[in-house]
Structure 1
Amino acid sequence: MTPETAAELADQLESTGYLADPGVATAAFLAMRMPKPLFCEGEPGTGKTSLAQALSQALDVPLIRLQCHEGIDAGQALYEWDFPRQLLHLRALEAASGGELDVTVAEQSLYTERFLLARPLLRALTSAPCVLLIDEIDRADDEFEAFLLQVLDENAVSIPEFGEVRAQTPPLVVLTSNRTREVHDALKRRCLYHWLAHPEFAREVEILRRRLPGISERLAEQVAGAVRRLRELELLKPPGVAESLDWARALQALGRDELDAATAASTLGAVLKYREDADRAVAAGLDALLAG
């Protein structure tokens, strides 16, 4: 069901387990209504990817994910031709023709949808309505950004051997960035922008209780409070909500209903992923980490 207001969208997202604050819900709602891509930037673990997943569930449409990485190119993101199958097809045509193969007819039969391997961007254009998640765009290079601009502007691509493919319904596009580098202004101008910060204490407690129904309120508050104080330290990788959930799950697996310094010390690997960060947390004092 398409929401009529940002508040209604927030309720739909909440039904999937994603607790969106008013800013996130409004940005996502406007991206749907305008329509424009939504560019979500923020520290790792603040729920950028989860937002796209929740939108897909809330709107009951497919989620198509393009995971960006260094060196990604248009072929990996858009389409490729299935050369092995084309070769087998060509050999079958040669055998059937008795050596009198019509080259023009053969070429036309090779470049059809049957042999087209659709990658995420092409699938999003042909599967709409859908949510297209372009994850960690900051990992891609400038050339890929320029290519992406054209696709987002036109909601169409031209395949030389096949023709133009245009979306009947533009996908809802969510781009995420961990800000490992600055994304060009040309891309940001085409999007609605929203910065996702780590959740406030009360919201993080609520997230833990929603995602982990068996957790006690006391333990959820202790984990959220400890993670909040960890984020105040100068860590290489401050923990996100995903790490909060992992820590709480680890404590539940150990049968703990309360977090103490000894248990925190033995389970830090669930929430901190660098030795230097764990050393810094211990040096700051685990008792102080759990205080309050």
Structure 2
Amino acid sequence: MARAPSVLHAGRVNAPVSDGSRKSLPGSPAELATALRATGYLADDGLATAAYLAMQMNRPLFCEGEPGTGKTALAQALAQTTGAELIRLQCHDGIDAGQALYDWDFPRQLLHLRSLEAAAGVDGAKLDADSVEASLYDERFLLARPILRALQTTPSVLLIDEIDRADDEFEAFLLEVLTEHAVTIPEIGEIRATTPPIVVLTSNRTREVHDALKRRCLYLWLDHPDVNREIEILHSRLPDLPEKLAAQVAGAAHKLRQSDLIKPPGVAESLDWARALQLVGARHLDVESAARTLGAVLKYREDADRVRNQLDALLAS
């Protein structure tokens, strides 16, 4: 009964859903940086400029960098800043257009079909096949997946997370949708965004994304913050964090990223570590408190064992 999604474009049939109104967009990169800071996201000039241009030029923002550098958090902050709904598409190996666009609610369609058959049996009427099929492919049975939801929702921020995990075919499909801001569902018609969503794509660079998709986007490489900026981030998100503890956590995280670890910590892990230290009552980072809370910052046993044996060196000034 289910049919494959289509991205062919024809005449517009139905208008998208509007869930609200977008706040006024920042008038400059500096204004955007200030607005992002209010959400707890600290953007430097390059990041704020790239995000500002992406919004003003209505182009997707392609964010690439190591895990934990704030790519996903940027999309979340942009949604909060603009008053938009954040809609996330998590990419994975084997993802296809159906998982990104829409599907039909087969169980509800089946129940509907049975109710029609039961009603016909009571009345002695004969079901018209064309009418039955038309009623089965009604909007009430449509399950909107992230991309379709983003096209139907105004305002919205569409986060396409870890696009490097998807395959070439999905990239080609995505390129067409992001160019047209519309999809066509054969049984219903075209759905086109009244106001295109702000689109943020992220990649951990596990593979190279094709040039065709990158050319459609504005590009931004995100690095881990330096120690001073990480201290600022820690204070922004954890206002009660003691100055000394913030400096020690940021310095230790910086050293861990320079070590040969399976998974170096990102900013999210630094925040978790600082919060964990606060919860156990630590006022500064020493060997004992670090050993007790390593699980907040390191996620592999091999990494934890290695660092636990080198805590003195890690915490040395």
TM-score, normalization by structure 1: 0.96
Question: Among 260, 275, 284, which residue is 2:286 paired with?
Answer: 260
How well do the aligned residues superpose, as a CA RMSD in angstroms?
Answer: 1.2
AA paired with 1:286?
L
Q: Secondary structure at the match of 1:236?
A: coil
Q: Deviations over 1:182-201 (max 9, x none)?
A: 11111111110101100111
1:289 paired with 2:289, answer: no
Question: Among 25, 29, 53, which residue is 1:2 paired with?
Answer: 25
1:42 paired with 2:68, answer: no
Which residue of the partner structure matches residue 121 of structure 1?
147
Which residue of the partner structure matches residue 212 of structure 1?
238
Question: Among 29, 48, 54, which residue is 2:52 paired with?
Answer: 29
For 1:153 and 1:91, the matched residues in 2 are separated by 41
For 2:286 and 2:109, the matched residues in 1 are separated by 63
State the identity as a percent: 72
For 1:122 and 1:92, the matched residues in 2 are separated by 29
Which residue of the partner structure matches residue 95 of structure 2?
72
For 2:136 and 2:292, the matched residues in 1 are separated by 60
Q: Are 2:83 and 2:155, in contact at CA under 8 Å, matched by a contact in 1?
A: no
Mean CA deviation greater in 86-95 or 242-251? 86-95
AA paired with 1:287?
D
1:138 paired with 2:164, answer: yes
For 1:252 and 1:25, the matched residues in 2 are separated by 31
Which residue of the partner structure matches residue 92 of structure 1?
115
Which residue of the partner structure matches residue 36 of structure 2?
13
Q: Deviations over 1:162-204 (max 9, x none)?
A: 2111111110000001111111111111110101100111111
Q: Deviations over 1:60-88 (max 9, x none)?
A: 11000001111111111110011111122
Deviation of 1:129 (Å): 2.0
Which residue of the partner structure matches residue 53 of structure 1?
76
> Which segments of 5 or more consecutive residues in structure 2 lack a partner in the other structure?
1-23
1:191 paired with 2:217, answer: yes
Mean CA deviation greater in 43-52 or 142-151? 142-151
Deviation of 1:278 (Å): 2.3
4+ long deviations beyond 3 Å: none
Deviation of 1:232 (Å): 1.0
TM-score, normalization by structure 2: 0.89
Question: Among 154, 157, 166, which residue is 2:183 paired with?
Answer: 157
For 1:236 and 1:85, the matched residues in 2 are separated by 46
Deviation of 1:99 (Å): 3.8
> Which segments of 5 or more consecutive residues in structure 1 lack a partner in the other structure?
none
Deviation of 1:111 (Å): 1.2
AA paired with 1:172?
I
For 1:99 and 1:28, the matched residues in 2 are separated by 60
Question: Among 236, 240, 254, which residue is 1:228 paired with?
Answer: 254
